[in-house]
Amino acid sequence: MVGGNAIRGTRVGAGPSGESERGESAPRRRVSYWCANGHEARPSFSMDAEVPEEWDCPRCGLPGGQNEQSPPAAPRTEPYKTHLAYVKERRSDADGEAILAEALERLRLRRELI
């Protein structure tokens, strides 16, 4: 049995397309960006648009610059820190032992009351 969907195989907005339907496209220019791995990306920009200094490489994700001989350096990534690492940055071992002793004392007092 044939389905009853008359617009099967089309998408919303589909139809004759072209400059007569959409109007003329803005004049464009392509700009080359190179990443540290030597990949070239060539996005297109409107002639009126401001061209950014850097563009992320679509192949490896590194930042790319317009100078092929000296592309921007890869950003330095900080290693993942656990919650404990952040606590140790703020507190000394002596502080940690004092806080632990205080918490254990409160726990013992609560158990005595039960």
Residue 57 labelled as part of a binding site: yes
Residue 35 labelled as part of a binding site: yes
Residue 61 labelled as part of a binding site: no
Residue 60 labelled as part of a binding site: yes
Region label for 75, one of left (φ > 0), alpha (ψ between -120 and 50) or beta (otherwise): beta
Predicted TM-score (pTM) of this structure: 0.53
Over residues 30-86, the pLDDT tens digits come to 999 999 999 999 999 999 999 999 999 999 999 999 999 999 998 888 889 999 899
